Amino acid sequence: MLELRSLTAGYDRRDPVVRDVSLTVAPGESVGLLGPSGCGKSTLARVAALLHRPDRGQVVVDGEPVHGWRHRAPRDRRTAFGVVFQQPRLSADPRLSLAQIVAEPLRATGRAADVPERVPELARTVGLGADLLGRRPHEVSDGQLQRACLARALVLRPRWLICDEMTAMLDASTTAALVAVVEEYRAASGAGLLAVGHDRVLLERWCERTVEWRELTGATGGSAGHPAAE
């Protein structure tokens, strides 16, 4: 279970963008989170993926409260999450080839030995031809780069996937292809999904359950929350 309990988060403690938000994703469940631009969806997605420390509230993963974010999160916690962001160009190192981008999490976790097997396997899964794997981000389209970013998110076989407007920059056929990849992975692995976006038609087709941002506030009662752990 991925539980977001009474989360308050943002960039200025005096004026948080996420206020007392609660949401739960069960293993194997797909949850779409809909909200208008600027409401704080990406910020919440980053907290859920252990990339941004909340001011208040708790993230509880499989019954265990999270006590560290980013590099302070234990490795097995961090690697349980695969994250895909809206803008692949901001989340991929421009100096690396697509193959190196996909391989990054394996190298960072001491599993470089798996690279020769896993990278071509993931490239096939996301529909990246071998000719593209040697190219760098500026030599491929947004859609091709997003395919590499999705492969990178899946390479460590995460138990939770956080997709933050994953398809916002993509055409309809690439959107359908990437959603299908996520769904095949979920069916095979039992991973849970939190897909954040503003495209109601897409999220309602994609996810078993879709929730509105405004429904999440104060859902567990009051804004007191729990003090965030260091």
Ligand X SMILES: Nc1ncnc2c1ncn2[C@@H]1O[C@H](COP(=O)(O)OP(=O)(O)OP(=O)(O)O)[C@@H](O)[C@H]1O
- The yes or no reply on residue 51 touching ligand X (CB under 6 A) is no
- In the bound complex, what is the minimum distance in angstroms from residue 197's beta carbon to ligand X? 8
- The yes or no reply on residue 40 touching ligand X (CB under 6 A) is yes
- In the bound complex, what is the minimum distance in angstroms from residue 79's beta carbon to ligand X? 24
- In the bound complex, what is the minimum distance in angstroms from residue 27's beta carbon to ligand X? 25
Could you give the CA distance from residue 222 to residue 211 in angstroms, rounded to a whole number? 20
Q: Which is nearer to ligand X, 11 or 209 (CB)?
A: 11
Q: Which positions from 2 through 31 interact with ligand X, judged by CB under 6 A?
A: 11, 17
Using only C-alpha atoms, the chain has a radius of gyration, in whole angstroms, of 17
Residue nearest ligand X, CB atom distance: 42
Which of residues 6, 8, 22, 43 is near ligand X by CB under 6 A? 43
Query: 19 to each of 10, 11, 132, 203, 209, how far by Cα in Å?
Result: 9, 12, 43, 23, 22
- In the bound complex, what is the minimum distance in angstroms from residue 210's beta carbon to ligand X? 15
- The yes or no reply on residue 41 touching ligand X (CB under 6 A) is yes
45, exposed or middle or buried, with CB in 10 Å at 0-12, 13-18, 19+? Answer: buried
User: Interacting stretch for ligand X, rule CB under 6 A, among 40-48, 53-61, 69-77, 129-137?
Assistant: 40-48
6, exposed or middle or buried, with CB in 10 Å at 0-12, 13-18, 19+? Answer: buried
Q: Phi-psi bin for 105: left (phi > 0), alpha (psi -120 to 50), beta?
A: alpha
165-168 contact pairs (CB < 8 A, 24+): 165/41, 165/42, 165/85, 165/86, 165/196, 165/197, 165/198, 166/84, 166/85, 166/86, 166/195, 166/197, 167/197, 167/199, 167/202, 168/86, 168/197, 168/199
Which of residues 38, 63, 110, 222 is near ligand X by CB under 6 A? 38
- In the bound complex, what is the minimum distance in angstroms from residue 190's beta carbon to ligand X? 27
Could you give the CA distance from residue 163 to residue 153 in angstroms, rounded to a whole number? 10
Size of the site for ligand X (CB under 6 A): 11
Which of residues 42, 79, 97, 175 is near ligand X by CB under 6 A? 42
- In the bound complex, what is the minimum distance in angstroms from residue 29's beta carbon to ligand X? 21
Q: Which positions from 180 through 199 interact with ligand X, judged by CB under 6 A?
A: 198
Q: Which is nearer to ligand X, 17 or 211 (CB)?
A: 17
Contacting residues toward ligand X, per CB under 6 A: 11, 17, 35, 37-43, 198
